[in-house]
A and B are shown apart, each in its own frame.
Chain A
Amino acid sequence: MKKSFLFVSILLIAAFALSACGPKATPTPAPETEAAPTDGGSYYDRAMAGEFSGTVVTMTGPFTDEDAVKFDASVAAFEDATGIDIQYEGSKEFEATISIRVEAGDAPDIVDFPQPGLLGTFVAAGDVVDVSTFLPQSSFDNYNQSWWDMATMQGPDGPIVAGVWHRFNAKSQVWYPKKAFDAAGYQIPETWDDLIALSDQIVADGDTPWCVGIESGAATGWPATDWVEDIMLRTTSLENYDKWTTGDLPFSSPEVKNAMTILDNIWQDKYVYGGRAAIVTTFFGDAPTPMFENPPKCWLHKQGNFITSFFPEGVVAGEDYDFFYLPPIDEQYGKPYLVAGDIMAMFNDRPEVRAVMEFFTHGEALKAWLASGGALAPQKDASLDWYGDDVERGVAALVAQATSVRFDGSDLMPGEVGAGSFWTGMTDYFSGVADMDTVLAEIDASWPRK
């Protein structure tokens, strides 16, 4: 009750904030063209020399609780060295409040967006500073080009680089209870056929192979969208995937339908613990728990690397659980990897803010976090040795070897779809409320048209 009231209220505010977006009274602060990198090095170097000591940089984003502690730990060394105080304000309802704050002229210096789609809204309104105006070439060289492609967004005066990538999560892996898995003599599947054969084998042995749960409060359905995206990457070209995330390839197209059908074939009563009916009622964080019972009740769980924080206390990475790469379906599309991550965007242009933005392009900015676990670094200079456990190191190595990397499609789509009808559509379909064609048509109909 209270939650839904809150949700409605937030929608109302967001709608209000957006509707008031029209012509902006304050023009975008034009980046000062002071030929930055020549005088005494880049902003980062100048900050390290102590030039900006005593300044404060404010940030807002979704890091709360444990993430906030780890973030603070990972920027502490930079703060000590430069004298810049980075004040991070984490909020559970960050997505709702940021619209209000920007609209009211109260934007923090740097905002941390887990969903680039939302950032796109601010870029289009001209609120965001183009980071390519001041970042040195070394920062650009420190990422795969695909990250910069994903950071490039359409501003009012043409495309800008809207931010820099901070940490990321990898999603294309399947977790399994290693001890029992080995004891039972199961083999890690290398191909999709192997995966289905393994599932059938587990069924024949009297268990259900997959742990699946997509319940997540108001966001129920999102784990299903990850599945569809992973299957899309394995069954169609990257061009089609990109077109799909921008709305040019409709959900009712054969490609998306094919992906849905493949998913549908796995999420059957015989394959899913608790049966298909349990999928939409099981909390995504609780879904892997039966995997750790002795003996396990289900054996395979596909989820991003953050899911390890939901695993029961005391289970050991590499001993009690491990992961394998979700196998390719069609070999011609290689070994794609689905990722999601945090992009840091800059709303106020000051030298010390530029220095902090440049700092985020260094792997150093994540070093302490990698050691403690819970993040992967997209920066090339982040060494694999920095990871605190073998599982995350293994995931990071796999992503580095992937033939292609694509961002979580639902996070790229406009909020109405990516955080709306795509979720609810999946929920409706797997709870049996609507059939596939209806669901896909409804998602298509919900795309905002200009």
Chain B
Amino acid sequence: MSTPKNPKRKKMVSDILINGSLFLLVALWIIPTIGLLVSSFRTRFDIQTSGWWAVFPHREWVKVKEFAIPENVDPNGVMEIDGVTGTFQEFRDGVSTPDGRKVTWVGNKRLGKIQIQEHRWVMRTDFTLDNYQQVLAGKSFELKNPDGSTRIVQGDNFVGAFLNSLTVSIPATVIPILIAAFAAYGFAWMRFPGRRILFIMVVALLVVPLQIALVPILQDYVKLDLNGTFLALWLAHTGFGLPLATYLLFNYISGLPRDILESAFIDGASHFTIFTKLILPLSVPALASFAIFQFLWVWNDYLVALVFIGSKPDVQVLTMRLAEMVGSRGNDWHLLTAGAFVSMVLPLAVFFGLQRYFVRGLLAGSVKG
């Protein structure tokens, strides 16, 4: 406990507390990601047989000598091997010798071997780029022809799916933002009959789960012959994203200082001029933060893409490729680690690229005139 007489010291303690808990949270958050990253460089067998933390230095019993079971021992009784005695079960667990080694029986009574083990510091550092290679270049499958010869068939790679995801995500981010910005301005600064009720409807749409709209929309798409096209997906994402976009941008735009707009009106500016010349530049932080939301949502979306464009190789998006990569029965699950990191690259770039808009105070000083 710090004494109340020393406010400086008190502040230091609270700083430590805050920073400490922040650090703890960050660590909790980031440890699984580090594990994933480490695993993505390990072979499937390594992942199966030891944890990713085994790449860090740790102490382990390491085999230094191995030999066949001496002929004179009876595995069903008490045995003496290499100077120590024990039963079969005890040797299975390892019997310690006075010099700190361990004599261990590996295998069963029929096929056993004796290992002399030492407790040593080890690191498992046999990393591989195979996972990334298979993800980026596609898996190669060996097919046998009926005549017995083999040929290699190269599976789909990530590139096509990556481009498809971009083709889907960018318009599906830009379109809703454009529409929502207009709508938000209208709701915030224009007076027209039914404004309240319309706005309440938009907000109410926020709680409607998109899943219930899938079948009716698909039926319409089939009639319009839109199904399986990128346009279908852009429209769907636009529709599903609009309520939140409108609501978020409304909150921001309606909070802009009235003075700026009034002076613009007095100067004779039209709504359109005000929107393009004043509102849009001032709203960049809000637009950017919504763009991040929407982009991440569309980039990571699986369900909507699955329903509206399906998984044909020429249109399938990254999430679908990622799911397919594990094989029909999930036999290549180890590729998910590398796949996850490859698919993460762009969202991270977008986030860090736009993140400065969160912090930049565009409004600072604008009212003082």
Contacts and interface: CB of A to CB of B under 8 A. Distances in A.
B209 interface: yes
* Of A89, A103, A183, most B-chain CB atoms within 10 Å: A89
Contacts of A283: 333
B361 interface: no
Interface in B4-59: 44-45, 48-49
Interface in A65-94: 65-67, 69-70, 73, 87, 89-93
Contact of B218 (A106, A202, A217): A106
Contacts of B83: none
A310 B331 contact: yes
Interface stretch (B181-189, B267-275, B320-328): B320-328
B310 interface: yes
Interface string B215-243: 10011011000010000000000000000
A12 interface: yes
Interface in A376-420: 386, 388
B215 A16 contact: yes
A91 B306 contact: yes
Interface of A: 6, 9-10, 12-13, 16-17, 20, 62-67, 69-70, 73, 87, 89-93, 96-97, 100-101, 103-106, 180, 183-185, 202, 204-207, 216-217, 283, 285-286, 289, 295, 306, 309-310, 312-313, 367-368, 371-373, 386, 388
A20 B214 CA distance: 13
B215 A202 contact: no
Nearest to A367: B146
B141 A66 contact: yes
Interface of B: 44-45, 48-49, 75, 88-89, 92, 106-113, 139, 141-146, 148, 153, 155, 209, 211-212, 214-215, 218-219, 221-222, 227, 302-303, 306-307, 310-312, 320, 323-333
Shortest beta-carbon contacts, A-B, top 3? A295-B107, A104-B218, A205-B108
A70 B111 CA distance: 40
Contact of A97 (B112, B146, B153, B307): B307
Given A97-B306, A106-B227, A289-B48, A17 B329 contact: no
B146 A20 contact: no
A216 B302 CA distance: 20
A89 B48 contact: no
Contacts of B302: 6
A310 B330 CA distance: 9
B324 A90 contact: yes
A103 B139 contact: no
B222 A206 contact: no
Nearest to A385: B146
Contact of B211 (A16, A183, A388): A16
Given A69-B141, A371-B144, A184 B215 contact: no
Contact of B142 (A67, A87, A180, A372): A372
Given A66-B141, A89-B311, A17 B215 contact: yes
A285 B222 contact: no
A373 B303 CA distance: 32
A283 to B, nearest CB: 8
Contacts of A184: 108, 110-111
Contacts of A66: 139, 141, 155, 327-328
A100 B112 CA distance: 57
Contacts of B310: 89, 91, 97
Contact of B329 (A70, A87, A309, A373): A309
Contacts of B88: 206
Contact of B145 (A69, A104, A371): A371
A313 B142 CA distance: 13
A62 B330 contact: no
Contacts of B211: 9, 12-13, 16
* Of A101, A367, A372, A373, most B-chain CB atoms within 10 Å: A372
A179 B73 CA distance: 25
A97 B312 CA distance: 13
B153 A69 contact: yes
Contacts of B320: 91-92
Contact of A9 (B141, B146, B303): B303
A73 B153 contact: yes
A92 B323 contact: yes
A185 B155 CA distance: 43
Nearest to A388: B144
Contacts of A101: 218
A64 B312 CA distance: 10
Contacts of B155: 65-66, 69
Contact of A104 (B75, B89, B215, B324): B215
A312 B47 CA distance: 12
Contacts of B89: 206
B111 A295 contact: yes
A13 B110 CA distance: 56
Given A12-B209, A207-B108, A309 B307 contact: no
Contact of A309 (B218, B222, B303, B327): B327
A20 B303 CA distance: 20
B330 to A, nearest CB: 6
B143 A73 contact: yes
A203 to B, nearest CB: 9
Given A105-B219, A206-B109, 11 more contacts: A16-B212, A65-B324, A65-B332, A70-B141, A89-B310, A100-B215, A101-B218, A207-B107, A285-B333, A312-B45, A372-B144
A106 B333 CA distance: 31
Contacts of B331: 285, 309-310
A7 B106 CA distance: 44
* Of A66, A204, A216, A367, most B-chain CB atoms within 10 Å: A66
Contacts of B112: 206, 295
Nearest to B143: A372
